[in-house]
Amino acid sequence: MAENFRRAGALRERLHCQKRGPGDDGWGGVVDNGKGPFENAFASPISAGMRPRTGGEEVTAARLSGQQPYIVTVRNTSRTRQITTGWQLVDARNADRVFAITSPPADPDGKNQWLEFIAVEGKVS
């Protein structure tokens, strides 16, 4: 991790962390099965640093599409430790930018101060 992301001022992105909410049971009831629409997990967005990595290509339904992965750096807090690969991130300043989390958070330097994970720009499937 680059040293410049280890300062609070370098965490310039504001991201909403979203997880799936309760879904429909098919009979008009609500079931907390985590298959409902995405909803904000926290009341306020988190601050994050995002570094683009080398992109790739993916073939989906016989169509080639580019992917841009990012290394997301956040402070290690009780909120950010809850983030899993089933969640998504949404840019608080531009709701059209959605990031699928593809790796669980990891402590990059073993000091329990920062968490890093990989997120790919695009909708979660």
Which of the two residues, 118 and 2, has the higher pLDDT score? 118
Q: What are the tens digits of pLDDT across the range 10-29? A: 899 999 999 988 777 767 66
CATH class of 3-121: mainly beta
Sorted by where each begins, the domain ranges of the chain are 3-121
DSSP SS3 for 3: helix
Which of 72, 64, 110, 66 has its CA nearest to residue 88? 72
Q: What are the tens digits of pLDDT across the range 44-84? A: 999 999 999 875 655 554 555 667 899 999 999 999 999 99
What pLDDT was estimated at residue 42? 94
